[in-house]
Amino acid sequence: MKLLDGKVCIITGGGRGIGKATAIKFAEEGAKVVIAEFDEMSGESTANAVSGLFVKTNVADKESVNSLIKITLDTHGRVDVLVNNAGILIDSTLVKMEEDEFDRVIEVNLKGVYLCARAVASIMKEQKSGVILNASSVVGHYGNFGQTNYVASKSGVIGMTKVWARELGKDGIRVNAVAPGFIKTDMTAQMPEKIIKMMSEKVPVKRWGEPEDVANAYCFLASDEASYISGIVLNVDGGVVV
């Protein structure tokens, strides 16, 4: 039997990068995958690749999120797993960061996680089962230069994860976070080679992570093999936090 056999799994930001790798992994493990993605081209492409359902979604908009949940329920009748993967970066130092740059990152990375989790929590409470997985980051632990908004959002995700694990555990709902380190994605591929090499040297295992490394962590935490794990932040970082 596959790890996620028959489970209905929503993956926000599932069109590319870690979200896409997670969608592929979940489908391989038997899940019915719903790709919640703002970008139609990448969202539809990933959904087609995993024989899943694509729903254009703005996670920072309550009505858009509610529509996502309604379409998922109309199609599959339940929600077993939510992976709050959607996120954006708008980097700048504190004195140069504009208010709208701060607000936009918080809206997507923090408020979006809240809106999606709140929307599925009521469904999962009725089911008496469910898993919510939130994307944090290693910078949520120790900060990072030029990322006031991003770090604030990812630290906030860690806090919300712990609160929800306490609140929802009695209803059979597990809540965990995954904190990736340096992961190869389309975004990081644009960085200068010397910067990539320098950052690789900071990783104890001496390499960047692949999106599949994070997808594997999500898959385990989503599965019944992690049935007694809730309220944790799992670093997938090659030892960077150490």
Active site residues: 150
Contact 72, 119 (CB under 8 A): no
Q: Which two tokens mark 3?
A: 């790890």
Phi, psi of 2, deg, nearest 5: -80, 155
Span between the terminal Cα atoms of the chain, in Å: 36
Contacts of 155 (CB under 8 A, 6+ apart): 136, 140, 141
